[in-house]
Structure 1
Amino acid sequence: MELKKSSRKQLKLRIGISGASGFGKTKSALLLAHGITEDWSKIAVIDSEQSSSSCYSDLGEFNVLELNAPYSPERFIQAIELCEKSGMEVCIIDSISMEWSGTGGCLEIHEKLGGRFQDWAVVTPRHQAFIDKILNATCHIITTARRKTDYSLDVGSNGKTKVVKHGMKEITREGYEYELTVNFELINDNHLCKVSKDRTGLWMNRPEFIITQETGKELMHWANSGIPTPKNTLSSEDLEIEELSAKISQADSIAILLALYKQYPEHQEDLKSKYEEQKRKLLNKPNPNTFSKNGHHV
């Protein structure tokens, strides 16, 4: 163990956008992504919303990976890994609600196991692997999430009563927003949003606003204002772990992965999640031919 001075390092953004249907989650995510990278070709949309992203193909030539049922955690992990492998800088998961409540998602998996409390012991690690992949991905991640919808009768400025749609609880496992850098909550069909979680402090005491490319630029400036970690400031043990981590990522067979595991027993616990991630990747190699440009295969 070593006590160090606190400092903020450069980091990859983990952003959430949630709202009821029709509030503009997908378009907001695309504008935000382009503000972050300023290159449509470096943006990928993992589309589990039945080609919702194709409605915005006029914005630019971003990449689309159409993900159909079953919406198991493992299939979302494979999709993120394909985005990483393809050199994407921003990955939009539209939406993570399908991993939780869609066909073949966590709730259905739990129900098929019997729907008992103890059955979550099987489902929770699978869901957590998906969350860990989001948090540890090598690219910026933007996730959208549906919110349960409710309606109210409100009196407009003209004195007439009208029906207003509201977004309520996010459709994903409770507590997800606490993992994020920022969580934007779209509050109406005019695309206005508020911030329900903000580690950046950029939106403290700000009024409600509309997400644009400038929002992404602000976030990217904040993310890049940290201090990169120079290699020569790392201890010899940290350097060894960093180099071993790179070797694990480059392992192209289970045999090589196992050999590395046995060769460095002192780091087995430190890099356990890295070994498991690479093992999953080797056992479930994604097919690059599934990528398309705005719905058209390349």
Structure 2
Amino acid sequence: MARISDHLNQQRQAPADSDFTDSDFTFAPATREKIKARLALMGVSGSGKTWTSLAIARGLAGKFAVIDTERGAAAKYAGVNGIHFDTLQMRRYDPRDLIKALAAAAQAGYGAVVIDSLSHFWSGTEGTLEQVDRAAKKGYGGNSFAGWKEGMPLQNSMVDALLSYPGHVIATMRAHTEWSLETNDRGKKEPVRVGTRPEQRRGVEYEFDVVGLMDTDNTLTVIKSRCPDLHAAVIERPDGGAIAKTMLGWLNDGAAGVDPSAYVDKATADDATYEGLLALFSEVESRGLQSTPMLAPDGQATTLGDFIRARGTAIKASQQ
């Protein structure tokens, strides 16, 4: 792990070639393309998040994997109702490690990835909160506010890689439920749920296209959906296969999109040139694919944009 971490740190610290800059903000006609699922399931322990996510993933892709932070919880369902998958057990939750795991999953060609759960990469061992605390103590005299200067970029890079994965992504998150004492229609005070938020960065749920809240009765309430057929849906004992079928109807309603692996192949080609990589970087950036997780030819985890920039800079330096 140390070699991969060192490699990524060197890329972040190395001065970027001035030619590899942001695009020129040119507008183009909007077109609807086929997309991949970005689904989040929130809920308290025992609400059925893991099983539901596995059933949906099986319906979305024939080959899928689970990045498991719940000490093997997902594996207990292996083979149930014919669901089979590969799993990666994680014991530390540095956000950079999730990027590496996603890069390995992309290299292996998994059509869908379940992250069970994303909460650990926020509040678990070496998660974002611990990274912030460590940075504050190390360089800012215990000032936690200043520690976010180092911690938040790690969090943001992780979320960018998750959203740029070249397949379907389902993330489970533990939920905090907030209650308020309200007066009911009989004039008596009773606890009423006034809000639920994930145990993750505040607002992270808005990064997903579909967000569901599960309760201890195993009822799924869709609290956000860009898929019209799932808007505000309330589903008792959800059928993951049926949900996947509904989502696929919406996800596949569009023109054929670009497979990120095509850009990876161009970026890693032996005959790549500096000018060609510049053009490729511009196209990748215009499509929002620069954060796509990938493995470089040497097996190191990186992102597509960082790899193109680093390789172009190296080719230019070798020509001088």
- TM class by shorter-chain length? 0.7 to 0.9
Q: Give, in whole Å, the separation in 1 of the partners of 2:223 and 2:59.
A: 21
Aligned to 1:195: 222
Q: Report SS of the residue matched to 2:79.
A: helix
Total equivalences in the alignment? 256
Q: Give, in whole Å, the separation in 1 of the partners of 2:109 and 2:131.
A: 32
Aligned to 2:91: 68
Tell me, yes or no, if structure 1 residue 85 matches structure 2 residue 107. yes
Amino acid at match of 1:183: V
CA-to-partner distance for each residue in 1:22-56, whole Å, 9 max, x for gaps?
Answer: 1111001001111212x3xx010000111111221
Aligned to 1:55: 76
CA-to-partner distance for each residue in 1:101-160, whole Å, 9 max, x for gaps?
Answer: 00000001111112521221111111111111111111100000011367899xxxxxxx
Identity of aligned residues (%): 27
The worse-fitting range, judged by mean Cα deviation, of 209-218 and 131-140 is: 209-218
Tell me, yes or no, if structure 1 residue 247 matches structure 2 residue 275. no
Q: Give, in whole Å, the separation in 2 of the partners of 1:181 and 1:275.
A: 18
Aligned to 1:145: 173
Match of 1:274 among 264, 267, 290: 290
Question: What are the equivalent positions in structure 2 for 1:219-234 lying under 5 Å apart?
Answer: 219-229=247-257
Question: What are the equivalent positions in structure 2 for 1:87-166 lying under 5 Å apart?
Answer: 87-114=109-136, 115-148=143-176
Q: Give, in whole Å, the separation in 1 of the partners of 2:125 and 2:28.
A: 47
Q: Give, in whole Å, the separation in 2 of the partners of 1:12 and 1:277.
A: 15
Q: CA 1:165 to 1:281, structure 2 compared with 1: closer, same or farther past 3 Å? A: farther
Q: Give, in whole Å, the separation in 2 of the partners of 1:277 and 1:99.
A: 17
TM-score (norm 1): 0.74
Aligned CA-pair RMSD: 3.4
TM-score (norm 2): 0.69
Tell me, yes or no, if structure 1 residue 22 matches structure 2 residue 46. yes
Q: Give, in whole Å, the separation in 2 of the partners of 1:137 and 1:276.
A: 6
How far did 1:261 drift? 5.2
CA-to-partner distance for each residue in 1:205-224, whole Å, 9 max, x for gaps?
Answer: 54443321111111112111
Q: CA 1:46 to 1:242, structure 2 compared with 1: closer, same or farther past 3 Å? A: closer
What are structure 1's unaligned runs of at least 5 residues? 154-162, 232-240, 287-298
Amino acid at match of 1:7: T
Q: Give, in whole Å, the separation in 1 of the partners of 2:283 and 2:67.
A: 30
- Does the 8 Å contact 1:261/1:268 carry over to 2? no
